[in-house]
Amino acid sequence: MITGVRRETGHPVVQPHMEGLLSDLEGEIATEYGRIGFRYAYADGQIHGEISLPEGMNGQWIGTDGDSRELKPGKNVI
């Protein structure tokens, strides 16, 4: 899945796979808790952008280099 948004143990894990496919990607995914918004740009081997989670939803980001960080409700800059 290019967007890389999947659910694990009740919260979203975001791990996009754009390498060699797209230079940017933007969209939303509907969940029962609200919409997850994302905007990515791929350059220099890294993905940059933002992910917006609905109120009350936490998640996890996993970058192309394996970097992992917690996502909180609202806008998260990657």
The answer to whether the beta carbons of residues 61 and 69 sit under 8 Å apart is yes
- pLDDT(1) > 60: no
* pLDDT surpassing 80 at residue 2: no
Comparing CA positions, the residue from 43, 36, 39, 41 lying closest to residue 60 is 36
Nearest residue to 40 via CA among 18, 56, 21, 55: 18
Query: What number is the average pLDDT over the span 1-8?
Result: 72
First to last CA, the chain: 19
CA dist 53 and 46 (Å) reads 21
Query: Is this model's pTM higher than 0.85 or not?
Result: no
Residue ranges of alpha helices (H) inside 1-78 are: none
Task: Check whether 10 has a pLDDT greater than 80.
Answer: no
Report pLDDT digits (tens) over 13-42. 888 877 777 888 899 999 888 999 999 898
> Which architecture, in CATH terms, is 5-77?
Sandwich (2.60)
pLDDT digits (tens, 9 = 90+) for 39-64: 989 888 888 899 999 999 999 999 88
